[in-house]
Amino acid sequence: MSSTRSARLLLASLFLAGASAHAEQAVTLLGLGSSIPDAWQLETPSSDMRLLQSAIPAADGDAAAFVVFYFGPEQGGTLEANVERWQSQFQGPEGTAVEPRISEIGTAALPATLVELRGSYGRSVGMGPGGDMLPDRMLLAAVVETPEGTLYPQLHGPAMLVAEQRDAFIAFVRGLQPAATPRP
């Protein structure tokens, strides 16, 4: 067997071994491609503002949700306004404020900021908690600047489950790049 063919077989087997251990599914939105873990079950987006939506199942049935919001060019508000709104939906012990952890996770081509919050969470569209406060929740929210406008990927749910999926969330954001166009 030729060394080129041996190398190709080795690469293919390594790819397949890696795929079975860390299988991912490709996703495309706004002309950008990335991937999410196969365990994240894709769903039909529940509104026109959601480009992508999936559930992350948990053994106890308390799933997390992954959503990518897009409101249009120059829409969706500033980073500061979004951080303030997300923070207002969380409470710490005895109703105290929860301080966000903010870091830069983007690339030179697509700047992105990650906001992390953990505590009791009352998810809502506007300021303040909406509905019942659920204990020990976590939100990972990114603000990704693209040529088409800002993307707002979010992962929220039980704190332990979201924390376990943090690396996959960051990999999705960092993996965003122009999608390959099919050849004619």
Domain spans, the chain: 23-178
56: CB partners within 8 A, 6+ apart = 39, 40, 41, 63, 64, 65, 66, 155, 157, 161, 165
Backbone angles phi, psi at 62, to 5 degrees: -90, 85
Q: What is the per-residue pLDDT for 11?
A: 33
The size of the chain, in residues, is 184
pLDDT beneath 50: ranges in the chain = 1-21
Q: Which of 24, 36, 100, 35 is nearest to 65 (CA)?
A: 36
| β partners of residue 157 | 138
Q: What is the per-residue pLDDT for 76?
A: 76
pTM for this one? Answer: 0.82
Architecture of domain 23-178: 3-Layer(aba) Sandwich (3.40)
Q: Rounded to whole angstroms, how far apart are CA atoms 54 and 51?
A: 11
Q: What is the per-residue pLDDT for 122?
A: 85
Tens digit of pLDDT for each residue in 121-162?
987 665 555 678 899 999 999 999 999 999 999 999 999 999
Q: What is the per-residue pLDDT for 184?
A: 53
Q: Rounded to whole angstroms, how far apart are CA atoms 178 and 54?
A: 22
